[in-house]
Structures are given as structure tokens and as C-alpha cells.
Amino acid sequence: MQNGQKWTKLPVLVVFGLLALSTAGCSIPFVTELVSEEPVPSVDLAYHRAVIRCKILVDDMKIEANILPPQDIPYSHQAFAGIRVGYNFPYQDFKEIMTWARNYYQEARYIMLTDPASESGRARHYKLHLGVRTDEAFKGGWKPWSDQDLKRIGSISSQEEMRTLLLSFKGEPDPLPYQKTEDHWWRFGF
């Protein structure tokens, strides 16, 4: 093969390679992020006996709701006392969901905001997850909200105001007592 023939085939191979990577079945995260559509807001609901009622309320808001499978520990309001809010989850929808969320996730006192600089996919920043494990809140250093703090959610009037309020509850990681004797896995986000 001549040198000229080798170089004329290279652009064709590059084009075919890019087309193959941009297909829906591509599993390379970087490429998937580049070619995927803008994520839409959605809500993940931790499985418990009243989760169907919660799904109906979210469906009425015209937001996609996903019921997560049961976890490895039995559901209890104390063990799943977290709410994770995506950095780009619409503040109006957050406010509306918080008007009823604590009726179904009764001890939810840890409201966490996703970090936009994290390596997790961008779809996570458009999700609201009700019923996050409480130990995740401790691992991240999130402080509990009082009833007065929760009432402040109703006065949020912008996306930036929501982010500022949520970040005001971020502190230093505080592991559970049984975690203090373990390696410091919680400091590294594992």
C-alpha cells in the first residue's frame, strides 16, 4: 500500500469510529456525556409501604418518578432520613415536593445538594432522591434541619437561593459510632 492511500483511508476510519462511539449503546462515560441530550428532572423514591402514594404525587407534577428496589437493610424512617437534591433540580419543584415529602419520609432531616464538580454523571444533578440512607448524610458532613429550617424552604425564590440554603447545612464529615473504628473510607467518598 502506498503512503498516499494509507492517509486517504484514515479520515474515513475516524468518521466511522466517531459514529460508532456516538450511538446509544456506547458505554464510554465521556462520549456518552458529550452526545447525550440534556437530562430532564426526575425523582427517585426509596422503597417503603407508602411509596406508591408518593409516586402518584410526583406523577401529578408531570415529573418522572422511579421507585427504587428495596435496600440491603430494612426501610425505617431513621435509617433513610436523607433527601438528595440535584444541583440543577428546579427549585419550584423542590419546594412543592417538600410540602408533602416529610409526611411520607417522616424523619427526613438531612437535605443534601449534589456537588457539580463530582465525577458522577450529570443526570444525577437533575434528580431529587427521597429516602437516602442516613449514613450517607453523616459521611458527607450534612447537618440535620430543624422544623424551623424546613419552613424556610417555602421562601426560596431562585435556583441560587436554593443552592445557598442547602449548602449552609454542609459541615465536616461526622461518622456514625461504629464507623469510628473502621478505616476512614467515608472521607474519600467510597
Tell me the per-residue pLDDT of 65-98, one tens digit each, with 9 for 90 and over.
999 999 888 899 999 999 999 999 999 999 999 9
Distance CA 155, CA 144 (A): 19
Q: DSSP secondary-structure letter at 111? A: E
**pLDDT at 32 (0 to 100):** 52
pLDDT at 149 over 60: yes
**pLDDT at 138 (0 to 100):** 87
- Overall pTM > 0.85: no
- Provide the residue type at 187 as one letter: R
Residue 24 or residue 158, greater confidence: 158
Q: Which residue, among 61, 72, 19, 64, has the nearest Cα to 45 in the 3D structure?
A: 64
Q: Which three cell numbers stand for residue 86?
A: 440535584
Q: Which residue, among 119, 99, 120, 101, has the nearest Cα to 110 in the 3D structure?
A: 101
Distances in whole angstroms, Cα of residue 22 to Cα of each of 1, 11, 121, 148: 30, 17, 17, 48
CB 144 within 8 A of CB 188: no
| Number of DSSP helices (H) and strands (E) in the chain, helices first | 7, 5
Q: DSSP secondary-structure letter at 150? A: H
CB 148 within 8 A of CB 63: no
